[in-house]
Amino acid sequence: MPDLVGSIDAGTTSVRFIVFDEFASIKAQHQLEFTQYYPHPGWQEQDAHEIMDAVNQCIEKAVEELEKGGEFTRSDIKAIGVTNQRETTAVWDKTTGKALTRAIAWPDARNTHTIRELAAKSEKGNDAVKEQTGLPLSTYFASGKVRWMLDNIPEVKKAEQEKNLLFGTIDSWIVYNLTDRAAHITDSSNASRTMFMDLKKQQWCPELCKFFDIDMDILPEIKSSAEVYGTVAQGALKGVAIAGIAGDQMAALVGNKCFSPGEAKNTYGTGAFLLYNTGEKVVSSDNGLLSTIAYKAGPNAPVHYALEGSIAVAGSAVKWVRDSLGLIKDASEIGELAGQVDDTGGVYFVTAFNGLFCPYWDDTAAGTIVGITAYTDKRHFCRATLEATCFQTKAILDAMAKDSGVALKALQVDGGLTNSDQAMQIQADILGINVERPEMRESTALGSALLAGSAIGLFGWDINKPETLAKVNTAGKQTFAPKIDDKRRAELMHGWERAVEKAKGWNENP
């Protein structure tokens, strides 16, 4: 029987478990959505226990599917990896293992005042910890979310005072539960998104913890992205090694096999996240980008870094157009409608539902639509919704070119929005470079599977020797080439930047 490797992909709105063979063909999978809670404007919460229930159900159902065909059994799965929404923050009771409150999701902006108070503590303002972390102070990252919990939820503060509090991003929570509370760990890629870790040392930093006034004892142990962390304690995969972890966007970089400096990918999920491999050195951004760890493929392997541009709203804008406006009944319709018009008729939609991330970094920006006339119909609005993500991707790539000194020649893409040919053609037109889309687009899940397989030497995979992955996910790649000229591209981008200026600063007292 051939060996297989599995991946838990715990995204922002759903969990999947996918089983791959050595060529990245999917042999079984199962997916479940989980509840999003919006108790106040700008807030987004999730039930950590519901996420864990979904993980366990997805594993069970995928294994059932795998065994139905008779070709494979659960024992063929030799290791599993974990990939996750990154900055989403969970806290739980060390004694009971129960979450003390709902997890605060990464787009949540409730801690705006917390961040402003922290920025006021330093002469550097929002860049107070950027030198150590590669990150600006923002509502986005886990540190501000933990600080808000400690300041506003008595049960969390009490647990900290009693030395009974544990913190983790969703990877930590999943591994903690899969191992029956035996492992409280995270990998360096996820740790780099907390603002508690020194980016160059890959260690928790006492000075940073003091700045945020948190007890270092609540933090998980930092591990590499590819090593055995423990085994599954129960269920269909009892005894199987958990051997790879990476934050979802870093996992997608690995899944797209962007192992060389200068290679980049964009993942279009709930948000969109563009990562540019900078190799074994930290590249500090002067243009609003994040410096982050991409992966460390083994305890003794070198660390690979990346520049990242984060777009808070991408696929979630399509969902909003479907669920809140009712303009479409299915997400797939948006590309069809957008393709029925040649342009937006001058409409721009700045999707700043909770402010703007890279490269603008304005938490007071609000969702804004400009350019509407009596000529505008839902086709123009659907196209403007897709263009919003494409324009922000262009702004990020321009910033990356300035920081790195190298212009990208082609962009690797994955994620739900890439299923739309129309969206990818719009992206190529706005960027002015080729957009390359693989046939198997579960790159995030594949990345954590590659890390797990590499950790145990499965299939001869070794991420530190990319040639060993030459046969992985090579089938059916499609290229979208730009079809508009530079003059038209510049006109469109100029209009977008004007629209962004209208959106900035709208929320005077967020």
Tell me if 40 sits within 8 A of 115, measured CB to CB.
no
Residues 252 and 338 in one domain: no
Tell me if 182 sits within 8 A of 231, measured CB to CB.
no
Compute the distance between CA of residue 55 and CA of residue 282 in angstroms, rounded to an integer.
34
> Does the residue 270 lie in any domain?
no
> Does the residue 495 lie in any domain?
yes
Element (H, E) at 167: strand 165-169
Both structure tokens of 109:
């902006």
Both structure tokens of 252:
């997608």
Compute the distance between CA of residue 88 and CA of residue 138 in angstroms, rounded to an integer.
13
Max Cα separation, the chain?
65
pLDDT at site 416:
85
Asked if pLDDT for residue 238 goes beyond 90, the answer is: yes
* Residues 223-228, mean pLDDT to the nearest whole number: 97
Q: Is residue 510 very low, low, confident or very high in pLDDT (cuts 50, 70, 90)? A: low
pLDDT at site 438:
86
Burial class (CB in 10 A: 0-12, 13-18, 19+), 326: exposed
- Asked if omega into 154 is within 30° of 0 (cis), the reply is no
* Residues 75-82, mean pLDDT to the nearest whole number: 97
> Does the residue 464 lie in any domain?
yes
- Please name every residue paired with 478 in a beta bridge, in sequence order, or none if there are none: 437
Residues 357 and 220 in one domain: no
Could you tell me which of 259, 273, 254 has the C-alpha nearest to residue 444? 254
Compute the distance between CA of residue 369 and CA of residue 388 in angstroms, rounded to an integer.
10
Residues 465 and 487 in one domain: no
pLDDT at site 473:
84
Q: Is residue 405 very low, low, confident or very high in pLDDT (cuts 50, 70, 90)? A: confident
Q: What range defines the domain where residue 351 resides?
A: 311-437+477-503
Domains identified in the chain, total number:
2
Residues 100 and 221 in one domain: yes
> Does the residue 285 lie in any domain?
no
Residues 236 and 133 in one domain: yes
* Residues 100-119, mean pLDDT to the nearest whole number: 94
> Does the residue 209 lie in any domain?
yes
Residue-wise pLDDT tens digits, 199-224: 999 999 999 999 999 999 999 999 99
Could you tell me which of 16, 61, 7 has the C-alpha nearest to residue 34? 16
Asked if pLDDT for residue 493 goes beyond 70, the answer is: yes
Compute the distance between CA of residue 22 and CA of residue 453 in angstroms, rounded to an integer.
9
Both structure tokens of 390:
């494409």
Residue-wise pLDDT tens digits, 274-287: 999 989 989 888 88
> Among residues of the chain, what percentage have pLDDT more than 90?
81
Compute the distance between CA of residue 327 and CA of residue 482 in angstroms, rounded to an integer.
28
Compute the distance between CA of residue 258 and CA of residue 5 in angstroms, rounded to an integer.
20
Q: b vs e for 206-244, b when ≥16 Cβ sit within 10 Å of the residue's Cβ?
A: eebbebbebeeebbbebbbbbbebbbbeeebbeebbbbb
> Does the residue 296 lie in any domain?
no
* Residues 52-79, mean pLDDT to the nearest whole number: 96
Residue-wise pLDDT tens digits, 239-260: 999 999 999 999 999 998 999 8
Question: Rg for the chain (alpha carbons), in Å?
Answer: 22
* Residues 37-47, mean pLDDT to the nearest whole number: 94
Asked if pLDDT for residue 491 goes beyond 80, the answer is: yes
Residues 458 and 492 in one domain: no
Residues 315 and 463 in one domain: no
Asked if pLDDT for residue 354 goes beyond 90, the answer is: no
pLDDT at site 223:
97
pLDDT at site 357:
85
Polymer length in residues for the chain: 510
Residues 406 and 464 in one domain: no
pLDDT at site 499:
97
Tell me if 165 sits within 8 A of 156, measured CB to CB.
yes
Residues 240 and 104 in one domain: yes
* Residues 451-477, mean pLDDT to the nearest whole number: 91
pLDDT at site 159:
97
pLDDT at site 439:
84
Compute the distance between CA of residue 175 and CA of residue 180 in angstroms, rounded to an integer.
8
> Does the residue 142 lie in any domain?
yes
Tell me if 58 sits within 8 A of 506, measured CB to CB.
no
pTM: 0.87
Residues 252 and 377 in one domain: no
Compute the distance between CA of residue 208 and CA of residue 217 in angstroms, rounded to an integer.
14
Cα 367–371–376 angle (5° rounding)? 105
> Does the residue 273 lie in any domain?
no
CB count within 10 Å of CB 20 equals 28
Residues 344 and 420 in one domain: yes
Residues 420 and 391 in one domain: yes
Residue-wise pLDDT tens digits, 376-394: 999 999 999 999 999 999 9
Q: Is residue 477 very low, low, confident or very high in pLDDT (cuts 50, 70, 90)? A: confident
Compute the distance between CA of residue 98 and CA of residue 346 in angstroms, rounded to an integer.
51
Q: From residue 223, how far is each of 186, 322, 377 by CA, in Å?
A: 6, 41, 52
Compute the distance between CA of residue 249 and CA of residue 253 in angstroms, rounded to an integer.
6
Residue-wise pLDDT tens digits, 416-448: 899 999 999 999 999 999 999 988 888 899 999
Average pLDDT along the chain: 94
Query: Domain holding 15: CATH number?
Result: 3.30.420.40
pLDDT at site 41:
87
